[in-house]
Amino acid sequence: MTQTPFVEIRHAQKSYGTLEVLRDVNLTVNRGEIVAIIGPSGSGKSTLLRAINDLDPLSAGEVLLEGVQVNKTLPPRAYEAHINEMRQHIGMVFQHFNLFPHLTVRQNVTMAPKLLKRLGEAEANRLAEEQLAHVGMLERIDYYPSQLSGGQKQRVAIARALAMKPKLMLFDEATSALDPELVEEVNQVMKRLAEEHMTMIIVTHEMDFAASVCDRVIFMDGGVVVEEGPPSVVFRTPTQERTRNFLRKYL
């Protein structure tokens, strides 16, 4: 029996003008799998991640979530309904938190469930409390983002994404903007999600984290997947010269 891949990226191609940022990227992720994407700056990692929920639409190629094409071509109204539905299943956490500064932690977390899932105040609050407790931020529920450290903001951003009960979580250098002493508290939250079998695609420069948490590592360079495999193989015995050159900088 062949199983439909949980996430499938087929022949992804993306150009900005004459700059080809993704060149025929193919990738499948299984349910519960934790995949790290590593590679030099400018290699197309963020573009690929943002293509998954069609924030950065591909120039060509397909993204499928559980066999359903995310980047469907549809008339505007139909596309909007379709993409809103798909994005509810895909949580995303960025480098720069992207919390709404004028809203409290509670309001940040309850907003999408209220708007998109039409939850009432009480249920949205219950959900927010549950998710904030999960990331150790319940005590700060009535604070504003400006009153939080970077690590705390990022934990709130993760709780906000989780409040939509996504099937897939995308992390784009979630710890890159943090002071070193704050990285671990965010990594701990991601580790816990991994233990709970959340399917995750994680763009990261933290090779130790990738090695200890991820099932598979994808090395991208110049808009292509150069090499992929289990961390124990890619990190210890990379087969490609480009991978070796890149990893040398992290040893």
The whole-angstrom separation of Cα 180 and Cα 226 is 29
Q: Are 4 and 27 in contact (CB under 8 A)?
A: no
The whole-angstrom separation of Cα 213 and Cα 60 is 32
Task: Count Cβ atoms below 10 Å from residue 226 Cβ, excluding itself.
Answer: 18
The whole-angstrom separation of Cα 26 and Cα 11 is 5
Of the candidate residues 46, 154, 175, 187, the single one contacting ligand ADP (CB under 6 A): 46
Closest residue to bound Mg ion by CB: 46
Would you count residue 57 as binding ligand ADP (CB under 6 A)?
Answer: no
Question: Of ligand ADP, Mg ion, none, which one does residue 113 interact with (CB within 5 to 8 Å by kind)?
Answer: none
Of the candidate residues 12, 25, 39, 46, the single one contacting Mg ion (CB under 5 A): 46
DSSP 8-state assignment for residue 145: G
Piece in contact with ligand ADP (CB under 6 A), picked from 36-44, 69-77, 139-147, 239-247: 36-44
Residue 70 zone, left/alpha/beta (φ > 0; ψ -120 to 50; rest): alpha
Of the candidate residues 25, 27, 34, 47, the single one contacting ligand ADP (CB under 6 A): 47
Of the candidate residues 9, 25, 38, 43, the single one contacting ligand ADP (CB under 6 A): 43
Q: What is the dihedral of CA 114, 120, 124, 125, to 10 degrees?
A: 130
Piece in contact with ligand ADP (CB under 6 A), picked from 44-52, 102-110, 160-168, 231-239: 44-52
Question: CA geometry: angle at 107 spanning 52 and 190, to 5°?
Answer: 45
Piece in contact with Mg ion (CB under 5 A), picked from 13-21, 44-52, 56-64, 97-105: 44-52
DSSP 8-state assignment for residue 2: P
Question: Of ligand ADP, Mg ion, none, which one does residue 42 interact with (CB within 5 to 8 Å by kind)?
Answer: ligand ADP
Piece in contact with ligand ADP (CB under 6 A), picked from 16-24, 80-88, 148-156, 186-194: 16-24
Q: How many residues does the chain have?
A: 251
Interface with ligand ADP by CB under 6 A: which residues? 16, 19, 21, 39, 41-47
